[in-house]
Amino acid sequence: MLDLATALCLMFAFTAANHLGLVSTVEGMIGHSLPVINCPMCSSFWSVLIYLCWATHDIIGAVAMSFFFAYLALWTELAMCVVDYFYQKIYEKVVSKSATDKIAPGAKDGATPGAMSKLRKE
Answer yes or no: is pLDDT of 77 > 60. Answer: yes
Q: Is the pLDDT of residue 111 over 60?
A: no
Is there a contact between 48 and 66 (Cβ–Cβ < 8 Å)? yes
CA 73, CA 83: separation in Å to the nearest integer?
A: 15
Q: Is the dihedral of CA 62, 68, 69, 70 positive or negative?
A: positive
CA distance 10 to 78: 17
Q: Note the pLDDT tens digit of each residue in 19-56.
A: 888 888 888 898 888 888 888 899 899 999 999 999 98
From the list 64, 19, 61, 59, the residue with the least C-alpha distance to 43 is 19
Q: Where are the domains of the chain?
A: 2-100
Does residue 49 or residue 117 have the better pLDDT? Answer: 49
Nearest to 50 by CA among 63, 33, 37, 31: 63
**pTM, to two decimals:** 0.67
Cα four-point dihedral sign 74, 80, 86, 89: negative
